[in-house]
Amino acid sequence: MRGILTPYADEQVQIYQTALSEPDALGQFDEVSTLTAERAAHVQPLGSDAAARMGLEGEIVRLRVRFAPPVLISVGDLLRARGRDWRVIRLEPWQSFTTVIVEAV
């Protein structure tokens, strides 16, 4: 019998909202990330089988991160967890928790 999935917090994760800067003299934009929150989350590696079921390919290091609601996060935002930066590539909001899939930057 499988247990009920309950979101629980075991790591602190920083959430950075990303946006484009004003264009420079050559019309180029830079990505700017601003720390918007630090939240407790459950973080675990995303296995290759689970990634394949989601349609994700390649040997890229990915994590599954679960937050208790509410959390303001979007695809493309950055997370800082486990000493490195991760980009949100998939977002699954549920009533009782939000799951994000991130790739190493």
User: For position 28, what pLDDT does the model report?
Assistant: 87
- Mean pLDDT for the stretch of residues 28-51: 87
- Mean pLDDT for the stretch of residues 98-105: 93
Of 100 and 56, the one with more pLDDT: 100
- Mean of pLDDT over the chain: 85
Confidence of residue 9 (pLDDT cuts 50, 70, 90): low
- What are the φ and ψ backbone dihedral angles of 22, each rounded to 5 degrees? -65, 150
Domain 11-104 is classified in which CATH homologous superfamily?
Bacteriophage SPP1 head-tail adaptor protein (2.40.10.270)
Residue 42, pLDDT above cutoff 90: yes
- Residue extents of the structural domains in the chain: 11-104
Joined tokens for residue 66: 């679960």
Q: Which residues are within 8 A (CB) of 65 and not within 5 positions of it... i.e. 6 or more apart?
A: 13, 41, 42, 43, 79, 81, 86, 99, 100, 101, 102
